[in-house]
Structure 1
């Protein structure tokens, strides 16, 4: 009885420690593992979602700013901005992934060559240094462009800065791999972390500039081909204030049974429809004298779409 009581009281028996450890594993570690797993999954997803949202806004803002409309006035949702960012990210993402693939193949080839020979091949000693020197030159050009020493474009400065830093680190990594050594060494990890942060910032900067340029290019193309947008005929109860010769106005005849709509406007295209508002643009819109009219999409107007 005494022995049984000691076991029931949690004494130092064989079963006691095993039971306590099992409870700790089942009650603590699974929850911590789930937390780490969720954090690992959610953090990249949130970051990518934020990038899509920001680049989508940059593209949309540049697109509609060409027509004199602020993107904030449109009131697109976050989903709309994320969907609109896809076109702005195809080329930068494809180019970056292609360059990364080539760099990885060269890196592993250099590692295999260094591990097989145990020493640098002829001319291999100078190739990594040449890459690093080219990277320093590109980084210097990017710094000078950012400081206004030479007329750098919107994407030139971030591309030169980022690619220069990448080439410097890549050249040093190739040197270590060709010699059969491991990289990075412990004393350079802080520097590599700072380089990674600068490369990430430069990439963010470059893709933002590309999104703005892509939006402006699409806006110019759309301005020359407004027939791509749906044709709209609008009947209203009051006269709309369009500039001269930008829309065809017709006064509707008064029938035996008077109708609410008195004026008809043709020669319009639908630029956007967001949150119960239609942004109408004349077919002969021009940058010098063009305008965009915002009307509510409700019972105050009668709208007809037609195919050209």
Structure 2
């Protein structure tokens, strides 16, 4: 143990633990947020067709991959704002380290940020209680961004004064802020995922030709609304023919856990049910491009 560590009583592995926790905590939070978004998006998408997401049985990897495409714009926006906040923080620290007071407008800026955050938080609370007609994402975004601005303004005020933020003194308050911001993040993610899933479901319902066309051969006859699916009775061949009926006019909605979810291609105009077919030798399936 180094002499400085003996004098201060700081264990040599403490900095490593702090660094590891700093890296793991945000990564775990982001991973959980991605999985939650993927599940909420998938649930909203297939609920439009009358299929519960739990019935599909997707894996956590499936949910994470399904969330990636829809998060480019919001994730890019959040990272850009975070980068701007970090740059402003380092600029404030540089100004504060000079030891000379900056211009009045600069010293006033952190308090304006905190005041603006307080206003956003109050507006979000009023929207949550129905005082004004808030959208699905308005309330969590206002609450979360308001809390972040309040704390960020205080941090900048201390940095401009070349003083350290009193983390130990405000530990409980900061913990509550982090918990509330995390809650608002999941709240906003759910609202955005549901809205995005509903939009994609409506688009897919009117563009089912984008999905693979399915020709399904079965042993027993299936029953669909008249004229919705083309049924053909297969003629007997020289060899024993197990499959007696062929159905066309179906599209592959999803495939998971050895099951295919088939939907009539005119579902948007005529409605109908989603057919769940096992992907085994009890049926014969041919897929073709939409």
Deviations 1:141-160 (A, max 9, x none): 11111112222112111100
For structure 2, the 5+ residue unaligned runs are: 1-10
SS at match of 1:85: helix
Q: CA RMSD in A?
A: 2.8
Q: For residue 177 of structure 1, what is the aligned residue in structure 2? A: 159
**Residue matched to 1:296:** 278
User: Structure 1 residues 150, 74: closer, same or farther in 2, change over 3 A?
Assistant: same
The aligned counterpart of 2:210 is 228
Q: Does 1:210 align with 2:192?
A: yes
Q: Choose 1 or 2 for highest CA Rg.
A: 1
Q: Distance in 2 between matches of 1:164 and 1:276?
A: 47
Aligned partners of 1:192, 1:199: CA distance in 2, in Å?
10
**TM-score computed with the length of structure 1 as normaliser:** 0.81
Q: Which of 120, 124, 134 lines up with 1:152 in the alignment?
A: 134
Q: Report SS of the residue matched to 2:105.
A: coil
Contact 1:248/1:266 (8 A) holds in 2:
yes
Of residues 256, 263, 284, the one that matches 2:245 is 263
Q: 1:50 aligns with which of 32, 39, 45?
A: 32
Aligned to 1:128: 110
User: Residues 280 and 159 of structure 1: is their aligned pair in 2 closer, same or farther, counting only changes over 3 Å?
Assistant: same
Distance 1:197 1:70, change over 3 A: same
Q: 1:219 to 1:166 in 2, by over 3 A?
A: same
Listed one character per residue, the Cα deviations across residues 55-91 of structure 1 (whole Å, up to 9, x for unaligned) are 2211111111111100111111222222222224333
Contact 1:111 1:178 (C-alpha < 8 Å) held by counterparts: yes
Evaluate the alpha carbon distance shift between residue 124 and residue 305 of structure 1 in structure 2; reply closer, same or farther with a 3 A threshold: same
- CA 1:34–1:240: 2 relative to 1, 3 Å: farther
Q: What is the aligned partner in structure 2 of residue 188 from structure 1?
A: 170
Following superposition, the deviation at residue 204 of structure 1 comes to 2.0
User: Structure 1 regions of 5+ residues with no counterpart?
Assistant: 1-28
Task: Give 1:88-167 correspondences, 5 Å limit.
Answer: 88-116=70-98, 118-167=100-149
Q: CA deviation at 1:229?
A: 0.9
Distance (Å, rounded) in 2 between the aligned partners of 1:216 and 1:153: 15
Counterpart selection for 1:284 from 259, 266, 274: 266
Alpha-carbon separation, structure 2, partners of 1:169 and 1:80: 36
The answer as to whether partners of 1:120 and 1:179 remain within 8 angstroms in 2 is no
Q: Against the structure 1 CA distance between its residues 75 and 157, is the aligned structure 2 distance closer, same or farther, given a 3 Å change threshold?
A: same
Structure 2 counterparts to residues 21-32 of structure 1, below 5 A: none
Aligned residue-pair number = 280
